Amino acid sequence: MSVAEVISKRRSCRAYNEDPVSREDIEKVLHAARLAPSACNQQPWRFAVVTDSQQRTEIIEHGFRVGIKMEWALGAPVLIVLGMKRSLIVHRAAVKVSKIDYPWMDIGIAGEHLVLQAEEMGLGTCWIGWVKPRRLRSILGWPKDIYPAAVITLGWPENPDDPPKARPRKDLDDIVTWLPSQ
């Protein structure tokens, strides 16, 4: 599949079958994340891979916020927690000067690399941002300097031949400014 095909085929997958994802496949998606670009090459991303069923349940029941239906995530055989570790000097200094908090961009890019690699392999994913970072951190045993920012579910889609409908996107006209104007 071309990159364009992978991008256009990807959907948030919220229904998985029970097949486990091999360690090799998990490492492949993590390698794709690792290759992401980052401001000053600081690579602030950190990952926790959770396959144990009890620990996944604990994350979903206690590390997710209420208000959005998230029971479907119990069916995902792998949860990847995406964390952010700021560098003391580069990140703190850069944001003061530029007023742009680069690590958030960096970890978003890494997460989407992971998602697109998974898509190419036929694996389903869904970003989950409705999380409780401090609770996640204590469940994972991560130190204070790693901030859990999101979870990505990973697994084999229950209905690969009947993927979720494409959700609408804004038109280019609504999101692009051309210079000179067209």
Ligand X SMILES: Cc1cc2nc3c(=O)[nH]c(=O)nc-3n(C[C@H](O)[C@H](O)[C@H](O)COP(=O)(O)O)c2cc1C
- What is the contact surface with ligand X in residues (CB under 6 A)? 11-12, 68, 126-130, 150, 164, 167
Cα distances from 23 to residues 33, 39, 70, 170, in angstroms, run 15, 29, 25, 37
**Residue type for 19, please?**
D
Q: Which residue number, 68 or 172, has a Cβ lying nearer to ligand X?
A: 68
User: What is the rounded distance in angstroms from the CA atom of residue 35 to the CA atom of residue 106?
Assistant: 11
| Beta-strand pair 78-84/124-128 | unpaired
Q: Which residue number, 92 or 130, has a Cβ lying nearer to ligand X?
A: 130
CB 130, min distance to ligand X, A: 3
Q: Which residue number, 69 or 144, has a Cβ lying nearer to ligand X?
A: 69
Q: Which residue number, 61 or 93, has a Cβ lying nearer to ligand X?
A: 61
CB 110, min distance to ligand X, A: 12
CB 180, min distance to ligand X, A: 32
User: What is the rounded distance in angstroms from the CA atom of residue 79 to the CA atom of residue 93?
Assistant: 33
Q: Cα–Cα–Cα angle for 173, 177, 181, nearest 5°?
A: 100
CB 127, min distance to ligand X, A: 4
User: What is the rounded distance in angstroms from the CA atom of residue 182 to the CA atom of residue 180?
Assistant: 6
17 Cβ contact list (under 8 Å, min separation 6): 155, 156, 157, 158
CB 72, min distance to ligand X, A: 8
CB 88, min distance to ligand X, A: 26
Q: In the complex, which residue's CB is closest to ligand X?
A: 129
The size of the chain, in residues, is 182
For the chain, first and last CA: distance in Å?
33
Q: Which residue number, 9 or 90, has a Cβ lying nearer to ligand X?
A: 9
Q: Which residue number, 89 or 130, has a Cβ lying nearer to ligand X?
A: 130
